[in-house]
């Protein structure tokens, strides 16, 4: 094999190792939530620290976003095997929203009161996000929620948990509605497992190089 072909083989090998490794590692992280059954004309938007800065660091959950037809989610911390997401709906006028959020992992807990949201922000809150502290943050207390989620239900400020999903039926204006959702974090492999994984990849590469030399 001429030098150019050998170089090309080596480059292809290292490129393959990099791509495969990246795919395997990316699979370890919790995916962004997806949405279905969303009210027509509405959208699900990732609220990032950069977006917060561009908007003047509004106090999240207090209605300061003043954004119609948009359900926001914040990628929060992972603590003790629990990944957190903050969900907020803060329209500038009264709006109703229905949505089913799929987090790709079992939902473990939902915090929906002002007290619970405030007490868990220091543990799970994302850096660069300004969390509001109004007593009206969260869902309004509602004991009349239906047993199962339905778009036609006019009993608002309710949520339902089922496996990997949380369904919302909210009516908001002013302060809006917000919840914090904890899901099972994707497992992080032990160092020994990672070593075996990468060892296997390089072993495959070594075999490929030997064949290239033959």
**What is the pLDDT tens value at each position of the chain, 214 positions in all?**
555 555 455 455 445 444 444 444 444 578 899 999 999 999 999 999 999 999 999 999 888 999 999 999 999 999 999 999 999 999 999 999 999 999 999 999 999 999 999 999 999 999 999 999 888 889 876 667 888 887 776 667 899 999 999 999 999 887 889 999 999 998 644 454 445 555 555 555 556 556 555 5
Q: What is the CA radius of gyration of the chain?
A: 23
pTM for the predicted model, two decimal places: 0.76
Spans of all domains in the chain? 3-28+192-213, 34-184
How are beta strands 158-162 and 70-79 bridged, if at all?
Answer: unpaired
Residue 176's region, left for phi above 0, alpha for psi from -120 to 50, else beta, is: left
- What DSSP state is assigned to residue 100? E
- What DSSP state is assigned to residue 156? -
pLDDT of residue 199: 59
- Report yes or no: 63 and 175 within 8 Å, Cβ to Cβ: yes
What φ, ψ does residue 209 adopt, rounded to 5°? -70, -40
User: Which of 53, 91, 96 has its CA nearest to residue 72?
Assistant: 91
- Report yes or no: 107 and 182 within 8 Å, Cβ to Cβ: yes
């Amino acid at each position: 094999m001429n030098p150019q072909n050998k170089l090309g083989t080596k480059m292809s090998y290292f490129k393959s190792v990099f791509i495969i490794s990246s795919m395997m590692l990316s699979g370890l992280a919790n995916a962004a939530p997806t949405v279905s059954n969303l009210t027509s004309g509405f959208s699900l938007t990732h609220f990032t620290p950069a977006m917060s800065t561009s908007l003047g660091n509004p106090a999240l959950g207090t209605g300061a976003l003043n954004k119609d037809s948009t359900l926001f989610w914040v990628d929060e911390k992972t603590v003790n095997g629990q990944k957190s997401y903050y969900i907020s709906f803060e329209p500038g006028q009264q709006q109703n929203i229905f949505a089913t959020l799929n987090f790709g992992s079992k939902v473990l807990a939902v915090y929906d009161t002002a007290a619970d949201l405030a007490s868990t922000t220091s543990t799970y809150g994302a850096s660069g996000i300004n969390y509001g502290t109004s007593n009206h943050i969260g869902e309004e207390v509602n004991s009349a929620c239906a047993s199962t989620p339905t778009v036609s239900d006019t009993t608002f400020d309710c949520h339902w948990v089922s496996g990997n999903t949380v369904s919302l039926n909210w009516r908001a204006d002013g302060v809006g509605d917000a919840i914090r959702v904890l899901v099972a974090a994707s497992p992080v492999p032990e160092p020994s497992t990672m070593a075996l994984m990468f060892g296997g990849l390089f072993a495959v590469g070594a075999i490929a190089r030997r064949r290239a030399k033959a």
